[in-house]
Amino acid sequence: MKVKSASRSKWVFESSALYDGEDSTIAWSKLIPQSMGTKHQRAYLMRSMKGFFAASSSSIITGTQYDQSTLQVRYRHIVTLVRWMVARDIWRLSALTENEFVEFMQERRGKFTTSRPAEASIDNWLTVAEQMWLHRRKYVGAIRFDPIMLKSEIYARCRPINARPFKAIPEDAALPLIRDALEWIEKYGPYVEKVTTQYWESKISQVGLTSTEKYARSKVFFAELESDDMFVTIKRMLAPNTTKGYDILTKAVMHTQGATIVVLLFVLGLRNRELVRLDYDCVIAENEPSGIAYYVEGIAAKKGGQRRRWAIFDPIVHIIQNAAASSAILRKYSGGKALFLNGRRPLASPYLKVTRIEPQSVANRMRDFATAPYRRGSPRISRLHPHAARKTFSRFAVKRDKHALEPMAWQYGHAYAEFTDGVYVGSDIELVEMMQEEERAELARSLEALLISEKIAGKAGAALQTAREELLQHPQFKGKAGLQMLIKRLIAEKVRIAPCDWGFCVYSMQISACEGTEAGPNIAKRSPEICAGCANFVVSEKNLQWWNDRALRDERYLREPNIPEQSVTVVSRRLAVSQRVLASIQVSQRLEVEK
């Protein structure tokens, strides 16, 4: 990052587009309390820390260019260490001993003052200290020992906690959360937007009135609002024990914002900072050969302020438009382009300075939405966080059977298509890695489901059964160990699975009856008839009901009078395929008896 201005007491760094012009300020005047030490001691230590900070801000050694949030964290580390040193009358890093540094590390705490620090926290501190050692020739009064050599002792003294990384939210909890968010926005989003706009218009009309007159008008506004049936319903759902209309409306605004945040994070896979940086006009429509395509345009994190697009479909378009309309009047009177405004005060006066929602408020909105009174019967979600939502997006995007993901199946399917086409490579490496990991896990789950099924059929099914039987002939591979070894072997052999209603495709391009490509089966040419005769096809007990229902429908149709001969031929051929598939799984009788 470039230095915009630098004085003795303050350095200002230029911000990237991701931070919307919010310059990063390093206040050196607050580094050391003026009441401590002599003027010379304070000046020398500050000069030392400035030299280290300048050297490490753009590291030639590591080849890293840090963004402003990283610089702020680095400065906070420096402040903490310096305050600890001067409290013990240590005024130079060169005077800091190894034992004193270990003592400093031993006093680090976790989230709570009584808790042990996390391993990541200790590692971050060691990284800063190691930077001090690596840059020791670039600043005065430099540290005189290599802190990394003390890592084992520090770990033994601090006993850090092996903090759990964020994991994808389980499907049985994530799907109800997403559906509730979609339902809330559809049912109550427009109403909350309308009432909020009326509230702000009422506030604007009160300009120039006395406090007594303003209070009287607000009282009338909320009295009318509290008699509205929709408002009463929202009160019952969100704040049954709250009596003030203002507080209820505030909760409604925050809850609607939380619902929008849940949908965008879980369905688009945005980072927290990318969500915060979205503008109200972020939806872009473009004419394409297949029709109008919609995109969300924003700033990519960790890419130096580069712009990026995320493909979306109609429901997401309407959700973003509703969110933009909800804060339109604020932007009109106070300026700004942010989609999400005023994290802590959603009903702030239009004439006050309006800011973007803070990243920490995003996680709070998500948790508040998930724990709303009306959702008490829903599955409990632990550690709900934007990064957990991003990991859940990765899992859903690579999920082979997306029927359970409706109505967002198209969105996840499109994300998976972009993933396989390499769209994310270079633009979001972290997301690519998460999706690759989830894709392998999803493939393993699908293979396991097929291999443990009592009855599987189809040409590829026979091959899977043969492979399993060959492996299980060896005593040491019986049971779960043998199953996992077979799954690993199949994955190593680049096995791919594409599910559908009527079965599974253990895909190989060379023998695909649908004329698939390297990317996968040809969706346009896939059909039950084509797949049933394909060497890639597998059908399991899971698909019995589908084939059985189809056979019953065709039988009923053929018993109808006056059916055209051509229709009889087509339906009879289709029924024969269904009967062959059902017979291949050794079904002796129909699951449903025709009466």
What is each CA distance from 516 to 232, 389, 446, 508, 524, in whole angstroms? Answer: 56, 33, 20, 8, 10
The predicted-structure confidence for 54-100, as pLDDT tens digits, reads as follows 888 764 334 445 667 788 888 999 999 999 999 999 999 999 999 99
Burial (CB < 10 A; 0-12, 13-18, 19+), residue 355, is: middle
- Percent pLDDT > 70 in the chain is 79
pLDDT over threshold 50, residue 248: yes
Confidence of residue 420 (pLDDT cuts 50, 70, 90): very low
The answer to whether the CB of 558 falls within 8 A of the CB of 537 is no
Burial pattern 357-389, b for ≥16 Cβ within 10 A else e, equals bebebbbbbbebbbebeebeebeebeebbbbbb
Higher pLDDT, 253 or 477: 253
Task: Say what the pLDDT of residue 212 is.
Answer: 93
Cis peptide before 407 (omega within 30 of 0): yes
DSSP assignment string, 389-400 = HHHHHHHHHH-S
Distance CA 129, CA 137 (A): 14
Burial (CB < 10 A; 0-12, 13-18, 19+), residue 128, is: middle
The predicted-structure confidence for 509-530, as pLDDT tens digits, reads as follows 777 888 887 767 777 777 888 8
Q: Locate tokens 């492996």: which residue?
A: 471
Q: State the pTM of this model.
A: 0.66
The answer to whether the CB of 75 falls within 8 A of the CB of 26 is yes
Contacts of residue 239, defined as CB under 8 A and 6 or more positions apart, other chains included, come to 247, 248, 251, 373
Residue among 391, 320, 331 at smallest CA distance from 355: 331
* Residue 181 CB neighbour total at 10 angstroms: 26
> Pairing relation of β-strands 58-59 and 503-507?
unpaired
Tokens of 519: 């990317």
Distance CA 266, CA 169 (A): 10
Strand order in the sheet with 496-500: 456-457, 537-540, 503-507, 496-500
The answer to whether the CB of 392 falls within 8 A of the CB of 169 is yes
Tokens of 254: 């925050």
Look at residue 299 and give its three-state secondary structure.
strand
Tokens of 149: 């050599």
Task: Say what the pLDDT of residue 351 is.
Answer: 64
The predicted-structure confidence for 343-375, as pLDDT tens digits, reads as follows 566 776 666 667 788 888 899 999 999 999 999
Residue among 142, 126, 124, 121 at smallest CA distance from 53: 142
Q: Locate tokens 């590390």: which residue?
A: 105
Confidence of residue 47 (pLDDT cuts 50, 70, 90): very high
| 233-248 mean pLDDT | 91
Task: Say what the pLDDT of residue 60 is.
Answer: 38
Q: Which helix (H) or strand (E) holds 57?
A: helix 39-57
| 499-503 mean pLDDT | 72
Confidence of residue 561 (pLDDT cuts 50, 70, 90): confident
pLDDT over threshold 80, residue 201: yes
Distance CA 264, CA 272 (A): 10
The predicted-structure confidence for 289-320, as pLDDT tens digits, reads as follows 767 888 889 888 876 677 888 888 888 899 99
Tokens of 94: 């060169």
Task: Say what the pLDDT of residue 192 is.
Answer: 94
The highest-confidence range among 114-118, 193-197, 477-481, 486-490, by mean pLDDT, is 193-197
Q: Any idea what the Cα angle at residue 327 is, between residues 323 and 331, rounded to 5°?
A: 135
Contacts of residue 317, defined as CB under 8 A and 6 or more positions apart, other chains included, come to 283, 294
The predicted-structure confidence for 443-474, as pLDDT tens digits, reads as follows 777 777 777 776 677 777 667 777 666 666 66
Distance CA 42, CA 49 (A): 11
